[in-house]
Every structure is written in C-alpha cells, then in structure tokens.
Structure 1
Amino acid sequence: MEASIGYDPSYVWRSILGTREEVRRGIKWRVGDGKDIQVWKDPWLPGASSGLVISSKPNLAVEDKTGIFAAPQCPLCQTVIPESLEHIFLRCAWTQRLWFAAPVSLRSDMIDALRPWLESLISGADPSLLQLIVMLLWAVWKQRNDVLFQNASPSIEATINMAFGVLNDWLAVQEQHEPRDTTHDEESTSDLPTWKRPAPGCFKLNIDAGWAGEHGQGYGLVIRVHEGECFFATTSFSPYRLSPLMAEAVGVRWALAEALRIDMDSVIMETDLVEVISCFVGRKCVANLETVIQDCRNLAVQFASFSIVHTKREGNRVAHALAAKASDYQNRCWWSEFPSFLNSAILADVFSVSI
C-alpha cells in the first residue's frame, strides 16, 4: 500500500496502483504484534467505521535515540528543557529530591551519565540494592507518565511507596520459591558462636536489621555491660524495605545516634554483616553506601573509645529478636522490665559467657 509508481511504469502496474485508494477505504489491519502499524495513520481499530484513531494526537516530540515521547518541558520539575533520560532520572530537581529521600540516599547530581552508572551497578552493586534502584527508576517513569498523561500531581512519598510496594510483592513471590537450606539443622548448639562480654567499663552494642512483618524494615539495638546484663534496648520500624546491606548500614547509623543520645562513652559495636565493617574501615565500599557509612564515621569519632567488630548471627540473637518484633513495638525503648520475648535470648547469652 505504500509502493511508488516508479519510473516508466507498465500499464498493468499503473492499473493496480489506480485501485489503491478504493482498496485502502475497505481494508483494515489484522493487528498481530502491531510492530508494523502506524498508529495514527493506519486503519486498525476494530468496530470503528474508518478503523482510524480519531482522537487528537498528543503535542509531543519524539526523541530520536530513545523513541520516548519528550515533552517540551519536564512534567516533574517544570523546567523548560527538552526531556532526555538523563534529565528524567538524574538531573530533574524533583527526581534528585526523591533519590535523596529514598533509603539509598543517592546524590544523582554527582552521576555523569545514566547508562555507565547502571552498567556499574549491574556489575558491582549488591543485588538487593540493584533491585531497589531499578524499581525506583520504574516508579519515577510511571510518575512522570501519570503527570504528563493523566494530570496527576507528582508526589515523592507516593512514588517511593509505590516502588517499595511492588518490590515487596515481587520479593514475597521469590521467597516462596527459594529452597530451604537444611545443612545446619543438625548442628550442635554447643558449637555455635555466642555473645562475648565487653571489657570492664565498656558497653557492647549489638545491632541487627531485618524485615519486620509483611511490608516493613525492623531495627533492633541492645546495649549490655561486662557482666552480660541488659542496660538498654530499643526498636525502630520503617515502612521501607531495604537491601540487607543497606539496611544494616542504616541500622548501624541509627544505633550510633542512639548511643550518643543516651551519653555512651566507650563502646564496642557488633554487627553480623562483615561487608558493613569493611566499608566502615575503608577496605572496600559498595556503590551508593558511601553517604551512610560516612555518617557512621562522623558519629563514631564522638565517642571516647569506639570499635566495630563482626559476630555471627548466633551471637547477635537478642538484637535479631528485637528487629523481628519492630513492627509490633515501632519506636520503643526499655531501660528495665525488658519484653518477655527477649528473656530467653538474654539468659542464654549470660549463661554462655559464664561457663
């Protein structure tokens, strides 16, 4: 239907082309995969008399390289500048606020280009962090389209919540299909690592982060003295789920701030993620974790004495129990009369350091 008459056409070819307009008025596309249909020009709509789209075409330019509909100004920040993927995801003032507000604490204005940044994440980032960033990118794109095509009002909080909601649903499905590791089910409890007491005059901080409930992140902190007795315990809850690595780093930052708030002086901190310790001491830092880790360093230098060490999960069970209950207790502190669910873990630790 798009053929040209050409140079010196034959009588037959001229006759065939002479009927083209009559044929055009009576045919419609069978859609199939739709890749060859010109949406605005070809008759493809079933049921319509002409088969043509009769609504007005959006007044949008199409970006040559990406094929996206590019608005003459950014729908999110209202800057009068032709849209590009770099602007939508990195340069837009609204998007920059979103990246900083999200738990990744990302400074997108310091990223030069979108594609190399994504390639570096794919090759080197923690998989859970990569999942979160990709979901936030999708949510930004969806919010942009809702503003552009449905006159929605852009909301940073709603966009972050949408990203976490979809990510949590996806992760929940993945969990249902992960095989259970039973290799340590028969391990003797006498061989398991246990909590170790701090030196006299020091306080030991055990921190753990974990998923609390169906849609939230829980944090648990317990502070104990040389004899093993609990001095302070607290929980914190956030509706935003993070990657395990990012969550533990955020938990360490929160725990340090709590210890300073209650005037701790000499502290030893234990966490069960060795990667966080590596980042803290400067051996290696995962992409996008630098901001949180630097916050931790700035807090740590305010103590008279500070060290951070690794413990296995079995040595961190009290903090783990607190994190698991954070959705029930939200932001709660205990100085005495600790919750009953902690008693067995606390007593087990005290017993293990006494034998």
Structure 2
Amino acid sequence: MASSVLKNPQVQPSENTTRCNTDAAWNKASKAAGLACIFKNNTGIEVHRASWNQDFVTSPLMAEAMAVRLALLTAASLDIFDLQVRSDNQTVLRAITRKQQIKEIYDILADINRLSLSFASLSFVFTPCSENAEADGLAKSSLRLFLSISGPPIG
C-alpha cells in the first residue's frame, strides 16, 4: 500500500483512482458529529456518498479523523482499491501520513492504518475548505438532522 500526502491538490490521480472528499461537523454542546464522504471517479462524476452521525465525540479533530475512517470503510465496502482521500484538515492528514501519535485520536489513527492495508493505492490530499464545500454541506446536514431527531441531551 502506498500512502502519501500530495502537496498539490491539482495533481491528477490515475484513471483508476476514485477521489473521496471527507468532512465533519461537530456540535460542542451535544458532543455529536456529522461525518461525510463523497466519492467521484477520475472525471468528477459522483459515484457514491455516505454520511454518518456519531455521539460522544470529544472534539472537531476527532470528528475529522472519524470522517476519514468512514471514507476508508465505505471505499472498502464498495470494492474501491485505488483511492485518494481529500480532507481540509491538515492535522489529521499529517498524523496519518507521518504516523504521528496523537493521544486524542490514537485509536482512530490505528484503525485508519489497518484499513489502509486494504488498498492497492492510497493517498491523502489536503483540500482547502473552499474546494470541500459539498462534503462540508453533507456533514452539516447530517448533524442537523441527527440533532433534530435526538433532541437535547437528558441530564
């Protein structure tokens, strides 16, 4: 498995590579997160999207790492073997590619590392927020829906 962070988001993946934009939205009061990933083929046509809600998320950093993990799990379930993960969170991308140990997200990073072994080709690319609006919108929408259904925390 090849794993890297490409410094230039304009670098084009091979024709077999699926691109996946990920993002997360986090609510401090409820400690809930909306996670999203949007998969597109090499011509930019959407082939799949997924969102997930998670409670007991302690920080935005944890939510962003969970969104990357969701992307890898979803890609594996779709039999995608050549993947470029695009995120607007440089801290998470650096932790993944440099094998950094961040206590707050240690277990999630370990999951990502294990899941990475499933891919023939895997790269991680920083994508500015301005180019990640679709995944951002899906994550926020997912979180809003979750919060409207679950209501305020019982305390």
Same fold (TM over 0.5): yes
Q: Determine which of 208, 213, 220 is the counterpart of 2:23.
A: 208
Q: Does 1:325 align with 2:141?
A: yes
TM-score (norm 1): 0.36
Q: Does 1:284 align with 2:100?
A: yes
Q: Please identify the structure whose Cα radius of gyration is greater.
A: 1
> Is 1:309 equivalent to 2:125 in the alignment?
yes
CA apart distance, 1:328? 5.4
Q: Report the CA distance between 1:244 and its aligned residue.
A: 1.3
SS of residue in 2 equivalent to 1:289: helix
Tell me how far 1:282 sits from its aligned partner: 2.5
1:195–1:293 CA distance, 2 compared to 1 (3 A): same
Instruction: Choose from 229, 245, 248 the match for 2:61.
Output: 245
Q: CA deviation at 1:267?
A: 0.5
One-letter amino acid of the counterpart of residue 209, structure 1: A
- Structure 2 vs 1, CA of residues 329 and 199 (structure 1 numbering), >3 Å: closer, same or farther? farther
How many Å separate the matches in 1 of 2:123 and 2:116? 8
Contact 1:278 1:285 survives alignment (8 Å): no
Identity %: 25
Match of 2:70 in 1: 254
> For residues 14-68 of structure 1, what are the alpha-carbon distances to aligned partners after superposition, in whole Å with 9 as ceiling and x for unaligned?
xxxxxxxxxxxxxxxxxxxxxxxxxxxxxxxxxxxxxxxxxxxxxxxxxxxxxxx
Distance 2:85 2:15 in 1: 15
Match of 1:218 in 2: 34
- 2:22–2:38 contact (8 Å) kept in structure 1: yes
Structure 2 gaps, min length 5: 1-8, 147-155
**Structural mapping, 1:176-191, within 5 Å:** none
Per-residue deviation at 1:264? 0.6
Q: Secondary structure at the match of 1:288?
A: helix
Q: Which structure has more helix as a fraction of its residues?
A: 1
The structure with more strand, counted as a fraction of residues:
2
Q: Is the 8 A contact 1:197 1:204 kept in 2?
A: no
Match of 1:199 in 2: 14
Runs of 4+ aligned structure 1 residues displaced above 4 Å come to 194-197
Q: Structure 2 length normalisation: TM-score?
A: 0.78
Q: Aligned equivalents of 2:19 and 2:145: distance in 1?
A: 23
Higher relative contact order (CA 8 A, sep 6+): 2
Counterpart of 1:292 in structure 2: which amino acid? I
